[in-house]
Chain A
Amino acid sequence: MNRLSAITLAMSASLFAALPAAAVEAGAPAPEFTLSGPRGTVNLAALKGKVVYLDFWASWCGPCRQSFPWMNDMQAKYGAKGLQVVGVNLDAKRADADKFLAEVPANFTLAFDAQGETPRRYAVKGMPTSLLIGPDGKVIQVHAGFREEERKQLEDAIAAALK
């Protein structure tokens, strides 16, 4: 192979360097993660057997501010039945997340992922994105955004998963 075609091959191979992750859809197993949180390490495998409501949030995201009181309600209401709400923060700066949490407290498990590795593996397409993961570790539903009219459907899905 001559020099020119070798260079062309190398350049075209570099185009494939940044392929997106396969979509995490309902029915697929939820990708594993281990992150640090304010109350210790958060590991998804350790939560197997519980219904996990995994929420990706950030301090700059308006709907996240509205979803926190609702998630606190869900944790309080269904926690005893086996629900665990896990909020993964995606702020680049921890100070922003801390400021948000001082204004909007969270009564559920929190984890921090400033590098953005977990949302990449989950193929997150909007902020906030929440996934309902069943006790077997499989994704039940993926939901982007948080609007007033969607609260009921989300709560119904949680209640149905806990049956």
Chain B
Amino acid sequence: MHHRTFAALLLLSACLAGCSVFQPPQPWEKGLLAKPEMTLGGDALEQRFDQHILNSKEAAAGGSGVGGGGCGCN
């Protein structure tokens, strides 16, 4: 392998290794996640729009009954 390619790959892997330091958000940092916009069924109007688009464009129906999701608060 060309030594410059090897050096570039080594630099790239060193940068990517920094990604292992990322942690999921701490319990007290979940303020934005707790907003109603962040729930799966937050905006009823948007949900109806999505349902209508799926029905009309893809002739698909259903599959959007019970919401889920949780971020630790409940």
Give the interface of A toward B (CB within 8 A).
4, 7, 11, 14-15, 17-18, 56, 58-63, 90-92, 96, 116, 119-120, 124-127, 129
Q: Say yes or no: is B34 at the interface (Cβ < 8 Å to chain A).
A: yes
A56 near B21: Cβ-Cβ < 8 Å: no
A58 near B31: Cβ-Cβ < 8 Å: yes
Specify the chain A residue showing the minimal Cβ separation from B11.
A7
Neighbouring B residues of A124 by C-beta, 8 Å: 26-28
B29 near A14: Cβ-Cβ < 8 Å: no
B31 near A126: Cβ-Cβ < 8 Å: no
A15 near B21: Cβ-Cβ < 8 Å: yes
Name the one of A58, A60, A92 contacting B35, with C-beta atoms under 8 angstroms.
Answer: A60
A14 CA to B28 CA, complexed, in Å: 24
B47 → chain A closest CB, angstroms? 22
A92 → chain B closest CB, angstroms? 6
A116 CA to B23 CA, complexed, in Å: 15
Kindly list the 7 A-B residue pairs having the minimum CB-CB distance in the complex, ordered from nearest. A90-B28, A60-B34, A11-B17, A60-B31, A119-B28, A127-B27, A126-B27
A126 near B21: Cβ-Cβ < 8 Å: no
Q: Say yes or no: is B61 at the interface (Cβ < 8 Å to chain A).
A: no
Neighbouring B residues of A91 by C-beta, 8 Å: 31
A58 → chain B closest CB, angstroms? 6
Given contacts A60-B34, A60-B35, A63-B73, contact A15 B20 (CB under 8 A): yes
B21 near A119: Cβ-Cβ < 8 Å: no
6 contacts between A and B (CB under 8 A): A14-B20, A62-B73, A92-B31, A116-B29, A119-B28, A127-B27
B67 → chain A closest CB, angstroms? 16
Q: Say yes or no: is B72 at the interface (Cβ < 8 Å to chain A).
A: yes
Name the one of B17, B35, B72 contacting A126, with C-beta atoms under 8 angstroms.
Answer: B72
A125 CA to B27 CA, complexed, in Å: 6
Neighbouring A residues of B30 by C-beta, 8 Å: 60, 127
Given contacts A11-B14, A124-B28, A127-B27, 11 further A-B contacts (CB under 8 A): A7-B14, A11-B17, A14-B17, A56-B28, A60-B34, A61-B34, A90-B28, A116-B28, A119-B26, A127-B28, A129-B27
Neighbouring A residues of B28 by C-beta, 8 Å: 56, 58, 90, 116, 119, 124, 127
Specify the chain A residue showing the minimal Cβ separation from B28.
A90
